Structure 1
Amino acid sequence: MDHVERSLEGQVAQAVDAWLRWLPRWEPATHRGRVAVCRRCLGSPVLSAAGLGTDVPHGVAHGLSTRIKTIVDHAVAEYTSRNLPMLQGELDQQTERNRARSYRPTEGLDPEFEGMPLDPEPQPGAPFLFTLGGMADEAAAVVPPLPPLSDEAKAALRQEVGLADEYANMIGREVCTILLGHRLRIQAGVSEFVEPQVTALLDELTRSLDSPFDATE
């Protein structure tokens, strides 16, 4: 595990470095917020370990949580390929199915957008003619389903999935422990690049509420 820990430490440091390089480009969203919550970020132990609470804008937190999730996903993928042949076979088949899809809008996204909803919330009374999510679902529907598994194969697959989940939880806990050591520089980045923009946005909102009508008009 020592080699794994050293590897994780380097990967987490690189992920935080990349997030800090992106942070100066963040700007507050001016569009209408979504009703749905982000399942990746809501109650995330990664964000808790990083010291990013609910007062930090979601776009800022999402960019870090996605980068850390990628580290965990890669570690689990390596463990699966070495130790869980049946699960790996199922994943390989699913990969081939995905490649057969003609439209894959969720692939190749920057970490700040990965896992985010494909489409904005519709305006009341103005439905979309089409959505990216709907087009992706249509493309997935034309791919033939996977062949059925026997009861024995299902039981063996469930066991391997359980082992993969246990490993993912172990790696996740280790990553969170490592993140604690990066809290100060994460919070310094938020203080330098995020908080001034949020404060300016709140000040502007306060002025507009205090003076809802422009006296010059």
Structure 2
Amino acid sequence: MERTLEAKVGSAVDTWIAWLPRWKPATHRVRTRLCRRCLGSPFLKAIGLDADVPHGVQHGLTTRMKSLIDDVVDEYTEKNLPLLSRELRAAERRKARDYRPDVGLDPEFDGLQLDPDPVPGEPFLFTLGELAEGGDVPESVRPVELSDEEKQALRTEIQLADECADHAGRLICQFLQPHRVRAREAVAAIVEPQVNALLDALSESLDAPPTRW
């Protein structure tokens, strides 16, 4: 698994660097919520992008790394954790009946807020979050009550899945370290000029003399 995962990490970093030219500095209203995926991320620390890097750039990387962990855990669960696998498939069937705007997003947008923060006095007609709430679940797709033995077995399998995710995460951090130099070079060559240009434009607008009428 380690060699395959190492190759996937390198490929994900390649894809992230290839995406960087498409990134643009955000000039719209800033959202007030912190991104739990990126705040204090060990992936960003491992690759040296945990400071002085725009969040959009960081998020594109952390989301790709999380996707790798999800793939490892999914494969491990399918092969070794039959009860958990069964419960997850049942949950997916229930979710498939609902509107899910957070599914199928590009990595750069996955995990972010579905809706912007509300502005006082300017209510939304509707929000994506409200649409995703869905209605009552039919009897045919409701979860089946588990026995006490099955519940205990499920707890054990969930713990094993968590341990698998933790192990994969540690490996990914290890495999990210050799990419520190080229990641920083890519940010310096592609991202920093855009940020500096935005700051220069802002500085010029602030220094411009007032218009005389």
* Structure-1-length-normalised TM-score: 0.92
Q: Which residue of 2 aligns with 1:143?
A: 137
- The farther-off stretch of 18-27 and 118-127 is 118-127
Distance 2:193 2:83 in 1: 51
Give the gaps of 5 or more residues in structure 1.
none
Question: How far does residue 152 in structure 1 lie from its aligned partner after superposition?
Answer: 2.1
Tell me how far apart the structure 2 counterparts of residues 143 and 209 of structure 1 sit (CA, whole Å): 55
What SS does structure 1 have at the residue aligned with 2:56? helix
**Pairwise CA distance, 1:216:** 6.2
Counterpart residue number, 2:112: 116
Q: 2:190 aligns with which of 175, 178, 193?
A: 193
**Which region of structure 1 is more displaced relative to structure 2, 62-71 or 121-130?**
121-130
CA contact (8 A) 2:40 2:50 kept: no
- The residue number in structure 2 matching 1:74 is 71
* Percent of paired sites with the same residue: 56
- Residue in structure 2 matched with residue 55 of structure 1 by the alignment: 52
How does 1:37-48 map onto structure 2 within 5 Å? 37-48=34-45
Q: Distance in 1 between matches of 2:31 and 2:104?
A: 23
Q: CA RMSD in A?
A: 1.4
After TM superposition, give the deviation of residue 204 of structure 1 in Å.
Answer: 2.1
Question: Aligned-pair distance for 1:52?
Answer: 0.9
Deviation at 1:214, TM superposition (A): 4.0
Offset of residue 99 of structure 1: 1.5
Q: How many residues align?
A: 210
Give 3-state SS (helix, strand or coil) of 1:149's partner.
Answer: coil
Segments of 5+ residues of structure 2 without an aligned counterpart are none
Match of residue 158 from structure 2: 161
- The aligned amino acid for 1:184 is V
Give 3-state SS (helix, strand or coil) of 1:108's partner: coil
Query: Comparing 142-151 with 174-183, which one deviates more in the overlay?
Result: 142-151
